[in-house]
């Protein structure tokens, strides 16, 4: 087990190297000069002199491969560099915003499960009835509704009209619910469908018949046999969503003025803040790999047939 985890973590190194290289290459093709963007964004007229000075200060006057090598050298020394825009260390900038995103992610995933799991079970048990169709409709709506639209709708009715929730910002749990629901509702649609299909499939299995023949109660069968098996694909999806959400959701964060990492990232991309983009990509890659690793470990826990080696 320990060796397995170690090997998986070792795999991170080529993954991160490859990703950062691709990312660096792609960014260099995108139009816009970071020095110039930085100057204009600060309200400074980007004269040739000013741009040259800033390019030099940021090390952008070096050839691209050298810039990458420098960056890599620093990363090997656990230094993600300094943000072009804020002149603050990238690691600090990311870490400052990560807790907000983490909070939102966890709450959103809870809401996803709270909606997705009961409705998935309900739909499966009431297969092809009105309830099933209603769940289908709901999941279709959740999947096709743009997040910003749902967000504005929620703010308009629940904050502006009814004044039940604050419309923006981070604070008490009241601030958290609307953005988390916006994210969670959209995601839950996949879980409803997935769990429904998965439960129906498991119910056909021989071991369920065996369990019934054994005289187990329906409740015990559902909890111990059906759900446990049906949850496997859900856990996979959860892992993927977790990694994805930790990357931040620019739209939901912007609409709700949530001080997370998504909005910060979009701004960094617009201003070609290379060090921040690179640092972010590395961070998200690590999240994805770790989330997948967790999923695999959890698999082994749920399904004794799976052995990790």
Partner 1 sequence: MFTGQKHLLKRYDLTALTAIITIILMTVIMAGCAKNQASKEDQQLVVAVSSDVGIDKLDAGGYNGLIQAYTMIYDPLVDYGERGKIIPSLAESWEISSDGKTYTFHLRKGVKFSDGTPFDADVAKFSIERWCKDPANSSLSVSKAMQAIDVVDPYTLKLTFSKKYYPFLTELTYPRPVRIISPTAVEPKGDIKGKFIKPIGTGAWMVESYTKDQQAVLVRNPNYWGVKPKLAKIVLKVIPDPQSRAMALQSGEVDLAGSEIGAVPTQSITDIRKEGKLQIYTQPGTMSYLLIFNYNNDLLKDLNVRKAINMAIDKQSMVDNLLGGIGRPARGLFQPTVPYVTASNNKGYAYDQAAAKELLKDSGYADSNGDGILEKNGKPLEFSLVLQNAQYPEWKPMCEYIQGQLKGVGIKLDLQMLDQNAYYDVLWRNRKFDLIIYRTYTDSWNPHGFLFSLFHTAGQGSGTPSVAWSDPALDNAIDEVLGTMDENERQVQYDHIFDMMYQQAMCAPLYYTDEVFVASTKVKGFAWGFSSYSPVKWEDLTISQ
Of 28-87, binders to partner 1 (CB under 8 A) are: 30-33, 36-37, 39-40, 42-50, 52-54, 57, 85-87
Tokens of 287: 């999240």
Q: At what angle do helices 90-125 and 274-302 cross, to 10 degrees?
A: 40
Q: How far is the CB of 296 from partner 1 (least distance, A)?
A: 28
Establish if 130 lies at the interface with partner 1 (CB under 8 A): no
Q: How many CB atoms lie within 10 A of CB 298?
A: 16
Establish if 219 lies at the interface with partner 1 (CB under 8 A): yes
Establish if 171 lies at the interface with partner 1 (CB under 8 A): yes
Q: What is the footprint of partner 1 within residues 263-302 (CB under 8 A)? A: 263-264, 270, 272
Establish if 203 lies at the interface with partner 1 (CB under 8 A): yes
Q: How many CB atoms lie within 10 A of CB 24?
A: 19
Q: How far is the CB of 51 from partner 1 (least distance, A)?
A: 9
Q: How far is the CB of 126 from partner 1 (least distance, A)?
A: 7
- CB contact at 8 A, 103 and 176: yes
CA 303, CA 299: separation in Å to the nearest integer? 6
Establish if 95 lies at the interface with partner 1 (CB under 8 A): no
- CB contact at 8 A, 83 and 94: no
Tokens of 62: 């070096």
- Among residues 5, 210, 212, 302, which is the contact residue for partner 1, using CB under 8 A? 212
Establish if 254 lies at the interface with partner 1 (CB under 8 A): yes
Q: Which stretch binds partner 1 (CB under 8 A): 17-25, 188-196, 262-270, 280-288?
A: 262-270
CB nearer to partner 1: pick between 249 and 285: 249
- Among residues 142, 175, 179, 196, which is the contact residue for partner 1, using CB under 8 A? 175
Q: How far is the CB of 46 from partner 1 (least distance, A)?
A: 7
- Among residues 24, 84, 165, 242, which is the contact residue for partner 1, using CB under 8 A? 165
Q: Which stretch binds partner 1 (CB under 8 A): 17-25, 112-120, 187-195, 294-302?
A: 112-120
- Dihedral sign (CA 236, 132, 187, 114): negative
Q: How far is the CB of 97 from partner 1 (least distance, A)?
A: 7
Establish if 111 lies at the interface with partner 1 (CB under 8 A): yes
- Among residues 155, 231, 238, 276, which is the contact residue for partner 1, using CB under 8 A? 155
Buried b (16+ CB within 10 A) or exposed e, 60-97: beeeeeebbeebeeebeeeebbbbbbeeebbbebbeeb
Establish if 172 lies at the interface with partner 1 (CB under 8 A): yes
CB nearer to partner 1: pick between 25 and 169: 169
CA 283, CA 20: separation in Å to the nearest integer? 11
Q: Which stretch binds partner 1 (CB under 8 A): 4-12, 74-82, 215-223, 287-295?
A: 215-223
């Amino acid at each position: 087990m320990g060796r397995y985890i170690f090997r998986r973590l070792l795999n991170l190194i080529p993954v991160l190297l490859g990703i950062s290289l691709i990312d660096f290459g792609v960014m260099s093709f995108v139009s816009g000069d970071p020095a110039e963007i930085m100057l204009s964004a600060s309200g400074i007229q980007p004269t040739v002199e000013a741009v040259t000075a800033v390019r030099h200060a940021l090390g952008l006057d070096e050839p691209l491969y050298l810039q990458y090598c420098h960056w890599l050298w620093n990363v090997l020394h656990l230094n993600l560099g300094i943000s072009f825009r804020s002149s603050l260390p990238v690691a600090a900038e990311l870490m400052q915003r990560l807790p907000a995103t983490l909070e939102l992610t966890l709450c959103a995933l809870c809401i996803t499960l709270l909606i997705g799991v009961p409705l998935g079970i309900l739909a499966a048990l009431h297969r092809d009835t009105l309830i099933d169709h209603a769940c289908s409709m709901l999941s279709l709506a959740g999947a096709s509704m743009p997040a910003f639209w749902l967000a504005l709708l929620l703010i308009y009715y629940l904050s502006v009209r009814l004044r039940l929730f604050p419309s923006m910002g981070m604070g008490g749990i009241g601030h958290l619910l609307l953005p988390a629901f916006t994210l969670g509702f959209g995601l839950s649609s996949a879980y409803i469908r997935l769990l429904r299909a998965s439960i129906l499939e498991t119910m056909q299995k021989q071991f369920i018949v065996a369990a019934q023949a054994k005289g187990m109660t329906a409740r015990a069968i559902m909890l111990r046999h059906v759900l446990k098996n049906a949850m496997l694909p859900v856990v996979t999806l959860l892992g993927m969503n977790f990694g994805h959400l930790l990357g931040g959701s620019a739209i939901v964060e912007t609409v709700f003025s949530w001080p997370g990492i998504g909005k910060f990232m979009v701004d960094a991309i617009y201003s070609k803040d290379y060090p921040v983009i690179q640092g972010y990509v590395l961070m998200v890659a690590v999240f994805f790999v770790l989330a997948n690793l967790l999923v695999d470990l959890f698999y082994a826990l749920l399904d004794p047939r799976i052995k990790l080696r």
